[in-house]
Amino acid sequence: MLKMDHPKEIQLNVTAQGSLSPKDPTASNYRLPSNPTPTNPIFQQSWKWWLMVAVEVVWVLAGQTVATLLGRLYFNEGGNSKWTATLVQSAGAPLLLVPLCLSRYFTKASPLARPPLHKLAIVYISIGLLIGGDNLMYSYGLLYLPVSTYSLICATQLAFNAIFSYFLNSQKFTILIFNSVVLLTFSAALLGVGSDSSGSPGEKYAVGFVVTLGASGTFSLILSLMQLSFEKVIKMETYLVVLEMQMCTNVVAAVVSVVGLFGSGEWRTLGQEMDNYQKGKVSYLMTLIWTAISWQVSSVGMLGLIFAVSSLFSNVVSTVALPLVPIFAVIFFHDKMDGVKVVAMLIAVWGFLSYIYQHYLDDLRAKKLAKKSSGRATNGSVTSP
């Protein structure tokens, strides 16, 4: 499942035409071409378009923040099933059937041939299995760490993303990308040495730190594998195809979680866990249900922003969520925000801004190349006999 709070987002650009464009050899990270704000002036000025973008921004920020806080609330109030916490991260996948069916109804069929079913099955199952394992590691991280520390460690996924993209997606290591990797590594290292102030036992903190760091790295690997799948296997990309991949991989991840829930025997304690939940049975069910819904709301909002504006803009919106979770964690869970965490958060934000600025430069470069190409094409058509 796509969980943007970590901040989890697929850096894939969706074109309305649904076709792949050539790789920009000058870009620092291979991305399908951004679909910038629609070029139709009437549509640009339409209040409906601005309202849609505003709603999707709220969905991303609210979904990411609420899902993470509810995940921690589940453990704080007596929940103890790691597999249940893992399941709710992908159990909301069937909700995506609604936008998927609407997209199929309103979208014209692509002229490009779809890959064979067995190839798609291999891609979806493989990535779904990774997502299931990744969700489990995030569950352990939420159980063993203060949610503010957990959220800041998750920021390292951009550093991992840069590394995996270099090997799998032909990303270049620019000064800004390298700066981002170093800063995010320092941020995680500060949190690692600041374990004494977390209030968690040293051993549990260490386990939580390691699994959350591993989960961030695994998620970055998943993003790179998804991008590689679109480039090498699926070879087409529309909002519909991205939505389909998200739903199918999350269904596989949910099946993995259900198998783990029954295989571990945790399902036997769920009744007792519900009875002993400090806020009551109704609150127990509502916590799980709304956690599942929040993840999917965030995912749909992110996909909507990628499609309606650009991947750069959706990255910026996701970055805004970075300081939100620690702040709300201090308010609702009374997490300690000591000097080490403040410095780690500022370093992480600096790393994020460095990473996003590189994407901004790539976007400007791509637009200039597109203008030159269109200008040459226009001149050629005018001078041709």
State pLDDT tens for residues 85-125. 999 999 998 888 888 888 777 777 666 677 888 999 999 99
**Are residues 348 and 300 in contact, defined by beta-carbon separation less than 8 angstroms?**
no
- CB-based contacts of 234: which residues, under 8 Å, 6+ apart? 114, 115, 120, 123, 241, 245
Q: Where are the alpha helices (DSSP H) in the chain?
A: 41-44, 47-76, 82-87, 97-106, 117-144, 147-154, 157-168, 175-193, 202-229, 239-263, 270-276, 281-308, 311-320, 324-333, 339-383
Nearest to 321 by CA among 13, 92, 66, 55: 66
For residue 184, what are the CA distances in angstroms to 29, 180, 216, 308, 348?
18, 6, 12, 30, 5
Taking a C-beta distance cutoff of 8 angstroms, is the pair 83, 273 a contact? Answer: no
Would you say the pTM of this structure is higher than 0.95?
no
Q: Is the pLDDT of residue 262 over 80?
A: yes
Residue with tokens 């969700």: 135
Of residues 375 and 154, more confidently modeled: 154
Backbone phi and psi for residue 360, each to the nearest 5 degrees, phi listed first: -65, -45
Long-range contacts of 195-204 (CB under 8 A, 24+ apart): 197/336, 197/338, 197/340, 197/341, 198/145, 198/146, 198/149, 198/336, 199/146, 199/336, 200/144, 200/145, 200/146, 204/144
pLDDT in tens, 330-367: 888 887 777 877 888 888 888 878 877 887 787 788 77
Angle at the Cα of 199 from the Cα atoms of 196 and 201, rounded to 5 degrees: 75
Range picked from 4-13, 100-109, 211-220, 229-238 for highest mean pLDDT: 211-220
Average pLDDT over the chain reads: 78
Residue type, 235: K
Q: Which residues contact 221 (CB under 8 A, 6 or more apart)?
A: 130, 160, 164
**Among 5-14, 219-228, 260-269, 361-370, which range has the highest average pLDDT?**
260-269
Q: What is the mean pLDDT of residues 14-25?
A: 35
pLDDT at 320: 66
Is the CB of residue 10 less than 8 Å from the CB of residue 242?
A: yes
For residues 121 and 29, the model is more confident at 121
